[in-house]
Amino acid sequence: MPPILPDFSNSVKLKYVKLGYQYLVNHILTLTLIPMMIAIFMEILRLGPEEILNLWHSLHLDLVQILCSAFLIIFIATVYFMSKPRTIYLVDYACFKPPVTCRVPFATFMEHSRLILKDNPKSVEFQMRILERSGLGEETCLPPAIHYIPPKPTMEAARGEAELVIFSAMDSLFDKTGLKPKDIDILIVNCSLFSPTPSLSAMVINKYKLRSNIKSFNLSGMGCSAGLISVDLARDLLQVHPNSNAVVVSTEIITPNYYQGKERAMLLPNCLFRMGGAAILLSNRTSERRRAKYRLVHVVRTHKGADDKAYRCVFEEEDREGKVGISLQKDLMAIAGEALKSNITTMGPLVLPASEQLLFLLTLIGRKIFNPKWKPYIPDFKQAFEHFCIHAGGRAVIDELQKNLQLSTEHVEASRMTLHRFGNTSSSSLWYELNYIESKGRMKKGDRVWQIAFGSGFKCNSAVWKCNRSIKTPVDGPWADCIDRYPVDIPEIVKL
């Protein structure tokens, strides 16, 4: 017997139903106000000028009342604009591109590992397995001191790497923006594992002869998410210092932190971390509004350090032979997932459209009241952002976030390609990813970008930017000579 009613799922494309629902909920205020305004306008037309004039005279307003009302409106407007946070602009940024002489192909890396760990073939085999599955390519770079056999991680070599990376990024930023060193009011440098005396921020001040009254900060020990912490600090400082420019420098110095022991948990960073750095110019000057690339919308920071496991999952310590290294624990991804969950719980209400928030709320109420086994609704963050910059900490990090946030291959393309071309450059990886999106010509005016980073402690930090103008494809930068080759196919395992 043929069905009396048509199959609803086949007769209606459900995606169009969802689009209709999203449009209705997201524009409910507009759809309600427009008919009301039309009705008021039609009523005014019906009354005519004489009746409108009689209505005005019937209000019995004298000069004192009008002046008081005007003063109250001006007072409220003044309080509102004075209490409104200053807009923070990202004028431009520059990423360090390592020289070809620092390139470390897989064959070179494994040859060095075999020579350094010749008495421990199992550790060599472990590093080879990690490298095969890492998602890194053949063009990642390590500093000159690591190319020696054995490596020579001296203080002089570490300072040399810091000068090469930071000064190159700063020089590029000056060229791109026309910024003069004397125009820098605030300087923030973040480098997690290398903290010499004088500090890296003092090194920058000495090199460029910055002003004596500059407000400088040097952040260390804060892991791969320190770049967004620096942005947050710059935002807070720019709120209290009007008409100012802030430069943020994010990097990680590899030279003194290359582990030469046998512990597997400490050998893992050797396979993933590579040279990199970025310099970012932020400003609250209204004169920068037209040429600025982005406007900072939100920064959300989550710290799980109160939990012992989270605190120790990325830990610098000595192994049994007294060699210092960074230990990455097996439960790192689970801890990162919990930190991300807390972060997006705060971020969601700030960025998600009303349609997604309503669905999430209804599902939450249903789980609490009717059936706890209901599948929780995962908000569609693709409704809130056009671009995603996920910290290129490793293939597992990107895979996990793609799965949890239900992102497409294109959404995580910038992260995967950055990991492949440059490796894990720590806190600066987000800026290589943003530059990848720009180099592909995908960034348009009004586009929203979500930067997500994880760091030791354990921290998950997010920043939301809105594109201020359509951005032309850059002719220079770290991707200039290779962007046409990307995206590339990255196999699950690269046999070495």
359 pLDDT band, cuts 50/70/90, is confident
354, pLDDT greater than 90: no
Strands, E assignment, 227-276: 245-251
Tokens of 305: 């350090």
The single residue of 190, 284, 424, 468 carrying the catalytic annotation is: 424
Structure confidence by residue, pLDDT tens digits, 162-177: 999 999 999 999 999 9
95, 141, 191, 224: the active-site residue? 224
Catalytic residue, candidates 218, 303, 389, 435: 303
Nearest residue to 280 via CA among 94, 19, 55: 94
pLDDT at 119 over 90: no
Q: Give the span between the Cα atoms of 108 and 138, in whole angstroms.
A: 10
Choosing from 112, 245, 313, 387, the catalytic residue is: 387
**What's residue 59's pLDDT?**
66
> Which residues fall within 8 angstroms of residue 35, CB to CB, at 6 or more apart?
none
Residue 26 has pLDDT above 70, yes or no: no
Mean pLDDT of 31-37: 79
Collapsing DSSP to helix, strand or coil, 205 comes out as helix
Distance between CA atoms of 203 and 218, rounded to whole angstroms?
11
Given a contact cutoff of 8 angstroms between Cβ atoms, the answer to whether 94 and 169 are in contact is: yes
Q: Which fold has domain 88-469?
A: Peroxisomal Thiolase; Chain A, domain 1 (3.40.47)
**Amino acid type, 124:** V
Element (H, E) at 466: strand 459-467
pLDDT band at residue 19, thresholds of 50, 70 and 90?
low
Contact 462, 452 (CB under 8 A): yes
Cα 456 from Cα 226, distance rounded (Å): 9
Q: Quick check: 27 pLDDT over 80?
A: no
Between CA 431 and CA 442 the distance in angstroms is 15
Q: In what order do the strands lie in the sheet with 459-467?
A: 215-219, 186-190, 245-251, 277-283, 89-95, 294-303, 459-467, 448-455, 387-390
* Residue 318, SS3 per DSSP: strand
pLDDT in the model for residue 322: 92
Contact 447, 471 (CB under 8 A): no
- From 141, 257, 411, 420, the catalytic residue: 420
Secondary structure element (H or E) that encloses residue 283, with its range: strand 277-283
Strands (E), 323-441: 324-328, 387-390
The alpha-helical segments, DSSP class H, found in 134-240 are 155-177, 200-208, 226-240
Contacts of 120 (CB under 8 A, 6+ apart): 262
Beta carbons within 8 Å of 211's beta carbon, 6+ residues apart: 182, 184
Q: Give the pLDDT score at 79.
A: 78
Helix or strand (DSSP H, E) at 316:
strand 314-318
Global confidence as pTM: 0.86
Sorting pLDDT into bands at 50, 70 and 90, what band is 204? Answer: very high
Active site residue 147: no
Q: Which amino acid is at 15?
A: K
For the beta carbon of residue 428, count every other beta carbon within 10 angstroms. Answer: 31
Is 224 designated active site?
yes
Least confident of 62-76, 323-337, 436-450: 62-76
Quote the pLDDT of residue 228. Answer: 97
Confidence grade of residue 20 (pLDDT, cut at 50, 70, 90): low
Contact 418, 432 (CB under 8 A): yes
Domain positions in the chain are 88-469
Concerning whether 241 is annotated as a catalytic residue, the answer is: no
Strands (E), 322-425: 324-328, 387-390
Q: How confident is the model at residue 237 (pLDDT cuts 50, 70, 90)?
A: very high
Tally of CA atoms within 13 A in the half-sphere of 472 that contains its CB: 4
Q: Which residues are registered as beta bridge partners of 317?
A: 325
- Identify the top-confidence range among 3-7, 15-19, 108-112, 380-384: 108-112
pLDDT in tens, 263-296: 999 999 999 999 999 999 999 999 999 999 999 9
Cα–Cα distance list, 455 to 43, 51, 130, 365 (Å): 61, 68, 20, 33
Cα dihedral 24, 29, 32, 35 in deg (nearest 10): -110
Residue 305 gets the label, from left (phi > 0), alpha (psi -120 to 50) or beta, of alpha
H or E element that contains 341: helix 332-351
How far apart CA 343 and CA 379 sit, in angstroms, is: 13
Judge whether residue 68 has pLDDT over 90.
no
How far, in Å, CA of 299 to CA of 307, rounded? 23
